[in-house]
Amino acid sequence: MNSLLPLLLIFAVMMLPLLFMSSRQKKAQQKQRELVNQLGVGDEVRTHSGFYGLIVETYEDVVILESEDGSQTKWARQAIAMGVDPVSAEEASTPQDENDSVSDEGSIPGVTVAEESTRPEDSRDR
- The predicted structure's pLDDT at residue 73: 92
Q: How far apart are CA 126 and CA 121, in angstroms?
A: 10
Q: Is 74 exposed, middle or buried (0-12, 13-18, 19+ CB in 10 A)?
A: exposed
- The predicted structure's pLDDT at residue 13: 87
Q: How far apart are CA 125 and CA 106, in angstroms?
A: 33
Q: How far apart are CA 79 and CA 39, in angstroms?
A: 13
pTM: 0.50
Handedness of CA 6, 8, 13, 14 (dihedral sign): positive
**Which residues have a Cβ under 8 Å from the Cβ of 54 and sit 6 or more positions away?**
42, 43, 44, 45, 65, 66
Give the count of beta carbons closer than 10 Å to the beta carbon of residue 36: 19
36-75 pLDDT tens trace: 888 888 889 999 888 999 999 988 889 999 988 889 999 9
Q: Is 81 exposed, middle or buried (0-12, 13-18, 19+ CB in 10 A)?
A: middle
